[in-house]
Amino acid sequence: MTLEAAPTGVDVSTPNVARIYDYFLNGKDNFAADREAAEQIIRAAPATRATAWANRHFLARVVRFLALEAGIDQFLDIGCGLPTQHNVHEVAQAARPDASVVYVDNDTMVLTHARALLATQPRTVVIGGDLHDPDAILLDPELRSVLDLDRPVALLMLSVLHCVPDDEPVRRSVRRFRDVLAPGSYLAVSHITRPTASSAYRRNAEQGARTYKDLGVNMSMTFREREQLVELFRGWEVLPPGLVNLPDWRPDPCPEPTSMCELPATYLCGVARMITR
């Protein structure tokens, strides 16, 4: 992408987490600073790109499961990032054409590109919002025009919670969504975690996270342990197989590439259902 193509107000000189992730997924909505930062992160943690793809495949499996098996037709994707392959609305509406999707992000470039791409997409909207203020998201009139919060909703928080360094805002946000969403709703989370002390990849993962900070990327990467992620699911019924590495959550009959199946355990993911408030 050329400098002239940048939306107004977008700083292309500072690496941006959404655009770095776009680069990992072979997207085109990134700039030189993002590409340089991404390559440094890959050098520090070589499994990063394969992990990004594994997270994207997890998203597709989760959305298909929720649409086809769980009967969910409403999706709320928090921290959606730049449009790429296996977007939520594409997967959900392929499974059931009546599905409605709301994308939420706080990044100017994400909002500009997503709104342009989805301007004519039925039952799909993009709104500005921040995890720190879940009420503003839930009360947004565009969201309310698409989602009926008196009926179950799939809340997707994929690869976003670790961008918030403090634990309490993360817990508070998840709790608030649970307080408002209807029983029968689902929560899907994927989140980076520090490999075990015995893992040969632990040092790489820690260096990769430090590289985000050292390069001045707009958001940090925060490791959370399994026990912290289990706490986020308090009040939800976690579905089998529980909190697992990305490729291990209900893998497709057609196996993923070997490089993804052999990923070091740097992410945990899981899906849960709300029984009652």
Task: Return the domain boundaries, the chain.
Answer: 3-273
What is the average pLDDT score of the chain?
92
d(CA 53, CA 213): 22
DSSP 142: H
Average pLDDT over residues 16-45: 95
State how far the Cα of 176 lies from the Cα of 34, in Å rounded to an integer. Answer: 33
pLDDT at 254: 59
Pairing type for strands 100-105 and 124-128 reads parallel
Residue range 3-273 in CATH 3.40.50.150: yes
**What pLDDT, on a 0 to 100 scale, did the predictor assign at position 10?**
81
What is the DSSP-derived secondary structure letter of residue 232?
Answer: H
State the amino acid at position 219 in one-letter form.
M
Cα separation, 171 vs 168, in Å, equals: 5
**16 pLDDT tier (thresholds 50, 70, 90):** very high
Looking at residue 42, its pLDDT comes to 97
Handedness of CA 85, 204, 130, 170 (dihedral sign): positive
86 Cβ partners below 8 Å, 6+ apart? 56, 57, 59, 60
Work out whether the CA dihedral 226, 228, 232, 235 comes out positive or negative: positive
272 alpha-carbon distance from chain centroid: 16
Cα atoms found within 13 Å of the Cα of residue 104, Cβ hemisphere only: 24
pTM passes above 0.85: yes
